[in-house]
């Protein structure tokens, strides 16, 4: 049984095809395997048609609402600058905004690993063990696992630097 914590609220966002839901899924599965109560909201259907995609992820010991309220997100993990700006109102005061990190993600040797890179950064802030993250990456993404782990670790190093 996990000790009670204040629910952690993470808003993932971007456009269709950017892997927003997959990134949120990896984080959710990792948290679940680590023993947390997890709720994730997502909306399907129109998403692949280039529309906005957002996923609310909430991690805690007794999570009720599957939705994060405006001004309540601790982290805004965003893969598209425009969407990040549009949804900034979800971020709490002193919440962590990933939009300024987008240039770093575009500098990766393969920019399609941006999701994993951001998950690595996020992992530095969350109470989830590294093994659970790796398990979740293998389970959800399932391909190019060694490369994903390497990019994840790079992100984790960057995240550690930012937590200070």
Binding site for another protein (CB under 8 A): 15, 25, 28-29, 32-33, 36-46, 48-52, 64-67, 69-70, 82-83, 86
Minimum distance from residue 160 beta carbon to another protein (Å): 27
> Please, where are the H alpha helices in 34-113?
81-86, 102-106
| Residue 26 or 159 having the CB closest to another protein | 26
Minimum distance from residue 83 beta carbon to another protein (Å): 8
Neighbouring CB atoms inside 10 A of 12's CB total: 33
| Residue 139 or 161 having the CB closest to another protein | 139
Closest among 3, 1, 12 to 58, alpha carbons compared = 12
CA–CA dist 123, 115 (Å, integer): 12
| Residue 24 or 101 having the CB closest to another protein | 24
């Amino acid at each position: 049984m996990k000790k009670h914590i204040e629910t952690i609220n993470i808003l993932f966002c971007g456009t269709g095809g950017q892997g927003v839901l997959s990134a949120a899924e990896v984080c959710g599965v990792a948290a679940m395997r680590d023993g947390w109560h997890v709720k994730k909201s997502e909306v399907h259907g129109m998403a692949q048609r280039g529309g906005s995609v957002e996923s609310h992820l909430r991690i805690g010991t007794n999570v009720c609402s599957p939705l994060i309220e405006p001004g309540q997100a601790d982290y805004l993990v965003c893969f598209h600058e425009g969407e990040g700006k549009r949804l900034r109102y979800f971020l709490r005061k002193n919440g962590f905004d990933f939009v300024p990190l987008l240039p770093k993600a575009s500098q990766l040797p393969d920019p399609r690993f941006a999701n994993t890179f951001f998950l690595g950064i996020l992992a530095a802030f969350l109470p989830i063990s590294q093994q659970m993250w790796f398990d979740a990456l293998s389970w959800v993404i399932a391909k190019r696992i060694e490369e994903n782990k390497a990019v994840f670790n790079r992100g984790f190093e960057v995240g550690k630097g930012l937590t200070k």
